[in-house]
Structure 1
Amino acid sequence: MEVLEPDPAIPLPPPQVAADLAFGDLGRALAAGWRDFLGLAQFGMFFGGFYVLAGLLIGLAAINGGEPTWLIPAMAGFPLVAPFVAVGLYEASRRREAGLALSWRAVLGALKGHDDDQILSMGVIVFVAFSFWMIVAHAIFAVFMAESGMGGESIAALLTPAGLMMLAVGSAVGAVMAFAFYAMTVISLPMLVERKVDFLTAIITSFKVVRTNFAVMLGWAAIIAMLLFVAMLPAFLGLIVALPVLGHATWHLYRRAVV
């Protein structure tokens, strides 16, 4: 018998954050994410393909614009938009878990949330974060490379002492920014898919999960960063699999972390 869709007008109880996440939960989340990817391949391939296409277009724009070095900050900031792209994957996993009917209309319609624009508001934050990172990366480039006489059109500029220092500083700054943004979105976006809450409540809950289970959530951030980095190397093509698996897995980790 088909399970009925819960009424979004009826608020769920206040979220309770689990304080006992273990590293084993990450393995179980990945295993569940892989099962969802195999069982919902049409949705995973669609969102993964969209992500790959966006990456290729960014790379093509950088190369055609004569600024190939900008591929590095673009690739570094690319994972910032992954949680928003994965909203449809959260919805697909939610429906599969609850035994609800799956359709393209329902999965793609997840972006509108509960008709309250909360997820779209998070999308604006995602876009602003990515834009801010590119501005910061440009500033770091200007500080270290202004005196080298080499512009962004030369990859060789990265091998100079100034270029290597720029990469070191940029990586450190980027890592801090990426983790802060990860802490803000890793739980908040799946929560907005499931619950009728405002995005500030979802963000606060996300930060609370990361703070309460810092070592495990830091490990999850490292897994995401490593898998996305490896997946981007072969012309972004690995993202067709990596993005949906991580998206589905994040949903299951959310279900473990917030009760």
Structure 2
Amino acid sequence: MTSETAGPKPPNNLAPQQPGMPKVNKVTAEDITASLKAGFSDFLARPVISGFFGLFYAVFGILFVWCLVWLGKIWMIIPAAIAFPLVAPFACAGLYEMSRRLQKEESFGWSDILTVMANQRKREMGWMAFVTLFVLWIWFYQFRIVLVIVLQDSSFSDLDGFFNTVLFTTEGWTFLAIGTCSGAVLSAVLFTVTVVAMPMLLDRDIDFVTAILTSVRVVTENPMVMLSWAAIITATMLLSLVPAFMGLIFTLPILGHATWHLYQRAVSPAEE
């Protein structure tokens, strides 16, 4: 004799419900323009805190270049200058948090923003740091290999000698061409995996693999728009280095705030 429970039986072949990947939206040039305007508005809303992040990044850049010259590592200045904008997403973590709170009309102070990275220690921001550092390590390593192969007989005893060799010799032009191509590839890879992954990890309790895959999908589904955004970031950051890094006091926070708003437009909100 068998007993039956009331109600329909669930199918035996039902798999456990898996959380879906975040939905990626189509973005346009108008989204970039709107994000830049929103980023500038966030900067004006709290200019002192925003400018602090830009100032900190600029001072770090000045000290880093000074250390390279002091240590006699003149050859590292070019790869460091190219890599400098690539680590900006970490410097912008506090800016993402500011934009998030401004968007939700939440109050905040210095401690709330300056401790945002420390508050991520139990989440997966550290893995994103590892991914970034790994790509940068590859960049410096291959740059050194190209340097040795192409400019093996050149002397870099001082800064003027290095730039004269690189800018005014045939070997230097070859070196720049190869380095530019390889640097562009690695920069594209790093941009693709981090452009929305960083603000997304700050915004949602997700794993870094999901964040990376979402970032890749945003770029692959909106290639021309995201390529334009990458070009804007790169050109603005490099131009900001010219006046002794001081341009970063303004450009870094505006771009950081704008990146948050572009992420909001590129990825649909998480379902509650």
Is the TM value for this pair above 0.5?
A: yes
Q: 2:220, 2:91 → 1: CA distance?
A: 25
Alignment of 1:109-148 (within 5 A): 109-112=115-118, 116-146=122-152, 148=153
Q: 1:102, 1:250 → 2: CA distance?
A: 20
Q: Deviations over 1:219-246 (max 9, x none)?
A: 0000000100110111111011111000
Give the letter aligned to residue 34 of structure 1: F
Q: Is the 8 A contact 1:112 1:119 kept in 2?
A: no
Q: Deviations over 1:104-132 (max 9, x none)?
A: 22212321455523112212322332232
Q: CA RMSD in A?
A: 1.7
Shift, 1:150, TM fit: 2.4
Gaps of 5+ in 1: 1-11
Q: 1:98, 1:152 → 2: CA distance?
A: 54
Q: 1:188, 1:80 → 2: CA distance?
A: 14
Counterparts in 2 of 1:125 and 1:138: CA distance versus 1, 3 Å: same
Q: Is the 8 A contact 1:48 1:244 kept in 2?
A: yes
Structure 2 equivalent of residue 185 of structure 1? 194
Shift, 1:157, TM fit: 1.3
Structure 1 equivalent of residue 13 of structure 2? none
- The partner residue of 2:38 within 10, 23, 32 is 32
Structure 1 equivalent of residue 110 of structure 2? 104
* Identity fraction in percent: 37
Structure 1 equivalent of residue 23 of structure 2? 16
Structure 1 equivalent of residue 214 of structure 2? 205
Structure 1 equivalent of residue 178 of structure 2? 169
Q: What's the TM-score once normalised by structure 1's chain length?
A: 0.90
Q: 1:49, 1:220 → 2: CA distance?
A: 23
Q: Is the 8 A contact 2:35 2:261 kept in 1?
A: yes
Q: Is the 8 A contact 2:74 2:156 kept in 1?
A: no
Task: Determine helix, strand or coil for the equivalent of 1:110.
Answer: coil
Q: 1:103, 1:177 → 2: CA distance?
A: 37
My pick for the range that moved more, 63-72 or 249-258, is 63-72
Q: Is the 8 A contact 1:111 1:120 kept in 2?
A: no
Task: Determine helix, strand or coil for the equivalent of 2:116.
Answer: helix
Shift, 1:40, TM fit: 1.7
Gaps of 5+ in 2: 1-18
Counterparts in 2 of 1:152 and 1:177: CA distance versus 1, 3 Å: farther
Q: 1:167, 1:189 → 2: CA distance?
A: 30
Shift, 1:63, TM fit: 1.8
Task: Determine helix, strand or coil for the equivalent of 1:100.
Answer: coil
Q: Is the 8 A contact 2:79 2:140 kept in 1?
A: yes
Q: What's the TM-score once normalised by structure 2's chain length?
A: 0.86
Shift, 1:83, TM fit: 0.7
Q: Deviations over 1:181-203 (max 9, x none)?
A: 00111100010111000111000
Counterparts in 2 of 1:13 and 1:194: CA distance versus 1, 3 Å: farther
Aligned residues between the structures: 246
Q: Is the 8 A contact 2:21 2:210 kept in 1?
A: no
Q: 1:133, 1:230 → 2: CA distance?
A: 21
Q: Is the 8 A contact 2:21 2:214 kept in 1?
A: no
